[in-house]
Amino acid sequence: MTAIISEEQVKKLREAHVAVPDVNETCIWCSACVAIAPDVFELNDDGLSEVVSRENYEGLEVDDAIAACPVDAISWVE
């Protein structure tokens, strides 16, 4: 299992003006985002999507995962 991004990492990336994907509490564990962008999202033990820690999320199909989310649980945090 890969490292899930921490609040501290999100803060540092935002300070560096790097957009970070976020999954909110409306996630229904459909796993569409994981299928579309497995380098960015993975399911936790409860079956909910979480963002994987990376230095950059550009070019990793995040926009496609956002568009595919049936409950609009994913967005960019800038």
Q: Model confidence over 31-61: pLDDT tens digits?
A: 999 999 999 999 999 989 999 999 999 999 9
- Give residue limits of the domains in the chain: 7-77
The pLDDT of 54-76, averaged and rounded, is: 96
Mean of pLDDT over the chain: 94
pTM (two decimals): 0.90
Cα 24 from Cα 50, distance rounded (Å): 9
- For domain 7-77, which CATH number applies: 3.30.70.20, 3.60.15.10, 3.40.50.1000, 3.40.50.1980? 3.30.70.20
In this prediction, residues 19-35 reach a mean pLDDT of 95
Whether the CB-CB separation of 15 and 34 falls below 8 Å is answered with no
pLDDT in the model for residue 1: 53
Residue 57's SS3 state is coil
- What number is the average pLDDT over the span 15-32? 95
Planar angle of CA 39, 11, 17, nearest 5 degrees:
75
